[in-house]
Structure 1
Amino acid sequence: MKPRLSPAELMRHVKNSKLFDRVVGKVNILSLSNGNGLAEFKVDEEHTNVAGQLHSGFIATLADYMSSFSFSTHELGNNYHVSIDMQLSFYESQAAKLGDVVEIQAKTLKSGHSIAYLEVLLKNKTTGELLAKVNHNMYILH
């Protein structure tokens, strides 16, 4: 089994990637441990849709990355897991706008031998308003 990557190694990989990973390169990971993670980023123009709000596709990508990074620090986690499904709820009345700082909280709710269940919350850091809630289920490869 491949050794787990540290948060610094994960972000170095993301920032140096020429692949899709680079889209989350401006996210600042504050902590990753015991299956949980905390990160934040400032909404830049590249993160917005035509209405000037945080793009829902970027929210899905953030949730995917943060839940994966977080689960890799869980006692049953590893760097080999794939998404089974994601359920996203968006709260458009509180959509983040250009310049807002968004906090991303990822939490491993439960993990068995083969399946992990995670939750990701995106909040406006200034107001505390919930922007999106994501439930992400992953299959653990052995």
Structure 2
Amino acid sequence: MPKAQWLNQYLKSAPVRNGFDKVLRNVNILQADQGSCVATVKVTKGDVNPLGALHGGYMKGVKVDDEVKLISKLIKAGKSFAFLDIELRNLKTDQLLVKAEQTKFKV
């Protein structure tokens, strides 16, 4: 089974806790390879702040019903931490919405 298909099945069937992980139900994995992942998500009311926009310092606003492409690339994976480069782009226009770096603790 391709990784993207397996990840989509997992995200749809994983138990939802009372946290941010509920957002993962709306994610559609398009591609998943060693060190990279491409996905899409449609922004819902549950994803936005009281002003109707996603949180954070974005280059361009993201609102309810916008469709977003998420592109993540592994920069480095050490023994305890992984470092990622992440972009969010408008699915229709490919306009850059967010550019971020993230550090994740490896469990």
The runs of at least 4 aligned residues of structure 1 exceeding 4 Å deviation read none
> Structure 2 regions of 5+ residues with no counterpart?
none
Q: 29-38 or 17-26, which moves further after superposition?
A: 17-26
Point out which structure has higher relative CO (alpha carbons under 8 A, 6+ apart): 1
Is this contact kept in 2: 1:31–1:38, CA < 8 A?
Answer: yes
User: 1:109-130, CA deviations, whole angstroms, 9 ceiling, x for partnerless residues?
Assistant: 1234443221111111223332
Aligned residues: 103
Where in structure 2 are the equivalents of 1:17-56 lying within 5 Å?
Answer: 17-20=14-17, 21-54=21-54, 56=55
Structure 1 residues 16, 124: CA separation in 2 closer, same or farther (over 3 Å shift)? same
Residues 1:111 and 2:77 aligned together:
yes
Matched, 1:125 2:105: no
The percentage of counterpart residues that share the same residue type is 30
Q: Give, in whole Å, the separation in 1 of the partners of 2:105 and 2:89.
A: 27
Q: What is the TM-score when the length of structure 2 is the normalising length?
A: 0.76
Matching of residue 15 in structure 1 with residue 12 in structure 2 = yes
Question: Is the helix fraction higher in 1 or 2?
Answer: 1
What aligned pairs does 1:93-112 form with structure 2 within 5 A after superposition?
A: 94-112=60-78
